[in-house]
Amino acid sequence: MKLSSRQAFWYAAFLLIFTAIAAYTVANKTWWFPPLASVQGGEIDNLFMITLVITGIVFIAVHIVLAYFVWRYRGQADRKAAYVTHNTPFEISAAATVAVALVILVGGGTTLWTKIQSPPPADAFTVEVWAEQFRWTFHYPGADGRMGNVDVRFISDDNPYGLDPNDPYAKDDIFATEMHVPYGKPIAVILRSKDVLHSFFLPHFRMKMDVVPGMKTRMWFTPTQAGVFEIPCAELCGVGHYIMRGVLTVESPEQFNEWISQQTPVGMSQ
Amino acid sequence: MATAEPAAQTHHHEPQSFWTKYVFSQDHKVIAMQYMITALIMGFIGMVMSWIFRIQLAWPDHNLPFMRFLMPTNMESGTLQTPGYYMLVTMHGTIMIFFLLTAILTGGFGNFLIPLQVGARDMAFPFLNMLSYWFYFLSCVVITVSLFVSTGAASAGWTSYPPLSALAKATPGSGLGQDLWLIAIALFIVASTMGSLNYVTTALNMRTKGMTLMRMPLTVWGIVVAAVLGLFAFPALFAGAVLLLLDRHLGTSFFLPHLVLGGEHIVRNGGSPLLWQHLFWFLGHPEVYILILPAMGITSEILSNGARKPIFGYKVMVGSLVAIAFLSFIVWGHHMFVSGMNPWLGFAFVITTLIIAIPSAIKTFNWLGTLWKGNIRFTTPMLYAIGFISTFVTGGLTGIFLGNSALDIPLHDTYFVVAHFHVVMGLSSVFGIFGGIYYWFPKMTGKMMSERWGKVHFWLTFIGSYGVFWTMHYLGFMGMPRRYFNYESFQFLPPSMHALQIIITISALVVGAAQLIFVVNFLYSWLRGPKAPDNPWQATTLEWQAPTPPPHGNWGEHLPEVHRWPYDYSVPGASADFVPQTVPVEVEPSGEHHRRAVAVNGHTNGHSNGHHA
């Protein structure tokens, strides 16, 4: 049974080494999330950490027990296994423990989900987004302060963003290739796609929402810092998926006003 | 449930010609080998695909001139082109999920084990069984042919979300390649349905005398429950495939609204891409349990045998299999938390999804309980079975993050998801499959596989796989989206991600090399391996009582009779540490009847062994 001991030793050793490396690199945050930039993202990160602690304990405990059993109960010629078929009290208490942990996670998760999915606050600053293969375009109201209607049916060579020709508010709207928002307000985003599925992903804000042709989808978040952030597309949208990059600049209201005043309205005035 | 043997079945006509014996065979064992070998070949193709796109991800400036022979259109210059990359990731997923894992677990193991483990002479419908394989074979041919069409194979991801998969102009692979993908999947579903009908019917109606349902090995339970899942879930995808073909060619609007693609209006009305996602995941989620439940069954079987101990909590194991299967039908929306689906639906899906953790945790405790106080033999099958516990726990725990909708928001469609499903559903079922192949190879072929090379194969696979998939979690934390050809356009990813990409690719190539060892071991052992005894693992279940390899009709003159449950290992007072199911209780004691008394007291029968932990 020498071979058995050697196998048991290495098996147990591997399980423990793997667990140690995994636990260390995660606890040390060696490779971690991008710097946080939103209120909602902070709450998501908190729930993430709670989940990480609970699942981390289970992960480490199971691997230590597994390694111990592999070593302790390695086969020996002079020994016979115990005849134990089940243990109902153990099963019930184990299941109950898991259930309690899940109640905590489900409670935290659904509460946070409700907050994030509720309508944005009334003072939110709204940006509309057109997604298409393979770029983002950002839609702002013009001097009238009202966003014009858009619809994919109105799109033509002269009207690339599908503004409603009968909507008076559409006449001075602004379309930009970059997204700028004023710091200090919640930001609401309304998403539309011209062609296929896309997904509007803000890694620093921990936000993501698919963009679906034929539908309007929404998200909102509250930035906690100014800066320039990238917007990758997170839903496979074709061969250019990996270069579909947008840029979000969160800046002071003054800087934002200056930026928007430099944008040329492309509305229906032509 | 004793079934009187129909007279016609006692004298099975043994097929005589080469064609009826090896090609159009109706013998479940031959069909099992056909399924298994075809699936392994498909899996090999799927694995080679992963090498190529992993090389692209680690070394985007690679130059492999010899590759133009393998991929003339997409690697002409020796460097992988973008359309080729998307084709490879799509086909890798499709082939691995359907054509390898589903096919080998139900078609391969299901076919071989169900009749042998329940004591039947063959499947209930041998002709249907043959037809099932040939439909599967046809679907493999169609999907393989699709790799060579001029516009390329399907490249909208293995989930084939429309509109990308609905409009030829949307992406290169959305031409003939996508049609062939849909046709192949439809054929596969036909094959799977015919097979599943057989597996369920055989297990319910053809059990030998004494083989009650609660005496069936957990392998049979796992496969049969998976077959039931397939019967209920696959029709949704079949319907989806037909509707998508209509959208593609007849101008219908099931999945398409009015849209503008490349400046051109595509005039459709009222369809929604979300409908496809619902249909796809209504299959897609049960599908991952179609893969994991048989692997759980196989693992339970091997753990009990290797630990020389009854499986811990047999009834609870059966109950949790059924519970997981039921729940799998009401969780599909957790793939769609940020899809645009009404967010309030997310509540229900969070709750049902996280409930799955309870039966899954119970199973894990029971596997650990099986090892507890065992006398573990480190055979190659046992190495895989123990590895399964590790991968199932690792991958299952990350599911608790993704199943909670709020946490899914940042993690969805990143490498965290790729890591999660590869560990919990890919690796775990592959470990079940490898464990199962090493375990039943002697009965299938009459030869033993090399244990030494089996162990080398295991260690490279186990360590390498964690090198690949554990590492991917870090990329997920960083927010790295999946299905990117390269990451050069983005600065938010730290430079250290390149090092991780290289670790993953090198690990993947090591795992790949290890599979070559497996192939050689498999083929060499089949041809030249030492002759296998009837019961090399000293196991209790029925198949080990059959001759090796079992002849047509399996059991010779008389069907076996079952006298006990399948896990009488180390029974106190028995002459050996295993008692086959066919041994009457008058000859050897059984734990089946007093197992409750033993367990409630929480300790073991004192004179059975001198060991106390």
- Residue B243's domain is classified under what CATH number? 1.20.210.10
Render pLDDT for B285-301 as a digit per residue (tens, 0 to 9). 999 999 999 999 999 99
Residues of B in contact with A59 (CB under 8 A): 393-394, 397
* Structure confidence at residue B604 (pLDDT): 40
Using the beta-carbon criterion (under 8 Å), do B347 and A110 form an inter-chain contact?
A: yes
For testing contact with chain A, the best of B314, B339, B378, B466 (most A CBs within 10 A): B378
Question: Closest to B602 (Cβ–Cβ): which among A87, A109, A210?
Answer: A87
Domain limit, last residue, from B220, B253, B286: B253
**CB-nearest partner of A210 from B339, B373, B376:** B339
**Token match 């084990």: residue?**
B113
pLDDT surpassing 70 at residue A195 = yes
Contact residues, chain A, for B602 at CB < 8 Å: 87, 89
Residue B2 pLDDT: 44
Q: Which CATH architecture has domain A125-262?
A: Sandwich (2.60)
As for how many domains chain B has, the answer is: 2
Mean pLDDT of B209-217: 96
- pLDDT band for A79, please (50, 70, 90 cuts): confident
**Three-state helix/strand/coil letters over B113-146:** HHHHHHCCCCCCCHHHHHHHHHHHHHHHHHHHHH
Contact A200, A189 (CB under 8 A): yes
Cα-Cα-Cα-Cα dihedral of B66, B69, B74, B79, to 10°? 0
In order, the DSSP letters of B552-577 are TTSSTTS-----S-TT-BS-TT-SSS
User: How many Å lie between the alpha carbon of B95 and the closest alpha carbon of chain A?
Assistant: 19
Q: Is residue B462 part of a domain?
A: no
Locate the chain A residue with the closest alpha carbon to B462: A14
Amino acid letter for position B439? Y
CA B208 from centroid of its chain's CA atoms: 28
| Number of residues assigned to chain A | 270
pLDDT category of residue B12 using cuts at 50, 70 and 90 = low
Could you tell me if residue B41 is inside a domain?
A: yes
Contact residues on chain A for B357, CB-CB shorter than 8 A:
98, 102
CA distance B517 to B457: 6
Give the domain-ending residue among B229, B253, B277. Answer: B253
Chain A residues with beta carbon closer than 8 angstroms to that of B484: 241-242
Q: Summarize pLDDT for B559-594 with one digit per residue, the tens.
A: 999 999 999 999 999 999 999 999 999 999 888 765
Does residue B597 register a pLDDT over 50? no
CA-nearest residue of chain A to B455? A7
Supply the pLDDT for residue A266. 80
Q: Write the CB contacts of B612 (distance below 8 Å, at least 6 apart in sequence).
A: none
Q: Rounded to a whole number, what is the largest CA-CA distance in chain A?
A: 94
Question: In Å, how far is A255's CA from the nearest CA of chain B?
Answer: 23
For residue A59, which of B385, B393, B359, B389 has the smallest C-alpha distance? B393
Residue of A nearest to B398 (CA): A55
Contact B477, A28 (CB under 8 A): no
Percent of chain B with pLDDT over 90: 88
Q: Which helix (H) or strand (E) is B475 found in, with range?
A: helix B451-477
pLDDT of residue B373: 96
Instruction: For residue B502, list chain A residues with Cβ-Cβ distance below 8 A.
Output: none
Domain membership of residue B13 (yes or no) is: no
DSSP character string of A107-162: HHHHHHHHHHHSPPPTT-EEEEEEEETTEEEEEE--TTS-PPPB-GGG--SS-TT-
pLDDT in tens, B520-531: 999 999 999 999
Contact B536, B103 (CB under 8 A): no
Q: What is the mean pLDDT of residues A146-157?
A: 95
Q: H or E segment at B528? A: helix B496-528
Sheet holding A174-176, edge to edge: A174-176, A135-140, A125-132, A187-193, A217-221
Please report the pLDDT score of residue B599 as a whole number: 43
User: Given B163, B256, B338, which is nearest A210 (Cβ)?
Assistant: B338
What is the residue-wise DSSP string for chain A?
-HHHHHHHHHHHHHHHHHHHHHHHHHHTTSS-PPPP-BHHHHHHHHHHHHHHHHHHHHHHHHHHHHHHHHHHTB--TT---------HHHHHHHHHHHHHHHHHHHHHHHHHHHHHHSPPPTT-EEEEEEEETTEEEEEE--TTS-PPPB-GGG--SS-TT-B-TT-GGGGG-EEESSEEEETTS-EEEEEEESSS-EEEEEGGGTEEEEE-BTS-EEEEE-BSS-EEEEEEB-S--STTGGG-EEEEEEE-HHHHHHHHHHSPB-STT-
Taking CA–CA distances from A113, the nearest residue in chain B reads B406
Mean pLDDT estimate for chain B: 93
Sign of CA dihedral B534, B537, B543, B549: negative
How many other CB atoms are found less than 10 A from the CB of residue B148? 12
Query: Which of the two residues, B477 and B75, has the higher pLDDT score?
Result: B477
At which of B253, B288, B315 does a domain end? B253
CA distance A164 to A150: 5
Counting DSSP H helices and E strands in chain B, the numbers are 20, 2
Does B344 sit within 8 Å of A117, measured CB to CB? Answer: yes
Q: What is the pLDDT of residue B217?
A: 98
Q: How close, in Å, is residue B482 to chain A by CA atoms?
A: 7
* CB-closest option in B82, B256, B474 to A31: B474
Indicate whether B233 belongs to any domain: yes
Residues of chain A with Cβ-Cβ distance to B571 below 8 Å are 83
At B8 the pLDDT is: 43
Helix axes B176-205, B126-145, angle to 10 degrees: 160
Containing domain of residue B568, as a range? 544-606
In chain A, where the domains are located: 2-117, 125-262
Q: What is the mean pLDDT of residues B369-383?
A: 97
Burial category of B495 from C-beta neighbours within 10 Å (exposed 0-12, middle 13-18, buried 19 and up): exposed
pLDDT at B60 over 90: yes
Give the integer Cα–Cα distance in Å for A99 and B328: 18
User: Measured between alpha carbons, how far is B26 from A120 in angstroms, rounded to an integer?
Assistant: 63
CA–CA dist A145, A129 (Å, integer) = 17
Considering only CB atoms, which chain B residues are within 8 Å of A99? 358
**Confidence (pLDDT) at B598:** 44
Mutate to test the interface with A, among B178, B409, B489, B537 (most CBs of A within 10 A): B409
B383, part of any domain: no
Cα separation values, B189 from A58, B128, B331, Å: 38, 14, 21
Does residue B79 form part of some domain? yes
Say if the Cβ atoms of A62 and B308 lie within 8 Å: no
Sign of CA dihedral B582, B584, B589, B595: positive
Beta strands in B251-310 (DSSP E): 259-261, 264-266
pLDDT band with cut points at 50, 70 and 90 for residue B612: very low
* pLDDT tens for each residue of B252-265: 999 999 999 999 99
| pLDDT-above-70 percentage for chain B | 94
Q: What is the sign of the dihedral through the CA atoms of B174, B177, B180 and B186?
A: negative
Q: Which of A47, A20, A85, A140 is nearest to B307 (CA)?
A: A85
Determine the longest span between alpha carbons in chain B, in angstroms: 83
Q: Are B416 and B398 in contact (CB under 8 A)?
A: yes
Helix (H) or strand (E) holding B156: none
pLDDT for the residue B593: 63
The CATH fold assigned to A2-117 is Helix Hairpins (1.10.287)
B407 chain-A contacts, CB cut-off 8 A: 44, 47-48, 51, 109
